[in-house]
Chain A
Amino acid sequence: NAGVTQTPKFQVLKTGQSMTLQCAQDMNHNSMYWYRQDPGMGLRLIYYSASEGTTDKGEVPNGYNVSRLNKREFSLRLESAAPSQTSVYFCASSGSWDTEAFFGQGTRLTVV
């Protein structure tokens, strides 16, 4: 049982480049999330998907797009990377209100 799998683990981009972060969960969870974590800022919600076919903006959505490809997969796209998007990105999933969020191992992204 892999849980939540994120790829890649590390990435360096040049300003203006695009990339997609992939996330997949095998727990049959309805909700999936993308967070970013910067020093002293905790986890800030970028986008989330409460169920297959729906996506909603979180606290810091600007500069990002998402796709809930199916119940298992939720991808995050940076269309034109900026240095301000240098961060650690976590994908997570949860079943409902009474179940915890399970996290992927994180992606450390640097934009130069």
Chain B
Amino acid sequence: QKEVEQNSGPLSVPEGAIASLNCTYSDRGSQSFFWYRQYSGKSPELIMFIYSNGDKEDGRFTAQLNKASQYVSLLIRDSQPSDSATYLCAAWYGSASKIIFGSGTRLSIRP
């Protein structure tokens, strides 16, 4: 079992709708979680960071964390064509001081 799991997609969402991306992790010792966006041929860039249970909002993005269920999600409201990218979920494993990534979900926003 991978330490961080995501559906690979592709996930197709109409412009203006809400895109929902999900991620699960296996180690209860994980302390914090990150969502990165990666455009084709580019390096990943951070969108959101969350370490407390509940929701964290930043503009059109909301990250949700449920440590009891070992579940992290990212909601993108009012989806735009520029949101089309691969979204990578990552977990910080404090006991080892390492960051593990999921395989990424490819998101496509259709006009």
Binding site for B on A (CB under 8 A): 30-31, 33, 35, 40-45, 48, 50-51, 56, 58-59, 90, 92, 94, 96-98, 100-101, 103-106
Residue of B nearest to A54 (CB): B97
Interface size class of B (residues with CB under 8 A): 20 to 34
Having A96-B97, A97-B51, A101-B34, one finds 18 other A-B pairs with CB under 8 Å, namely: A31-B97, A33-B98, A40-B103, A41-B103, A42-B6, A42-B101, A43-B90, A43-B101, A45-B100, A90-B43, A92-B99, A94-B92, A97-B32, A97-B92, A97-B97, A98-B32, A100-B49, A103-B43
17 contacts between A and B (CB under 8 A): A30-B97, A33-B98, A40-B103, A42-B88, A44-B101, A48-B97, A48-B98, A50-B96, A59-B100, A90-B44, A94-B92, A96-B97, A97-B51, A97-B92, A98-B49, A101-B46, A104-B43
In the complex, the number of residue pairs spanning A and B with C-beta atoms less than 8 Å apart equals 64
**Pair B98/A100 contact, Cβ less than 8 Å:** no
By secondary structure, the B interface counts as strand
**Pair A105/B34 contact, Cβ less than 8 Å:** no
**A104-B44 Cα distance, complex, nearest whole Å:** 9
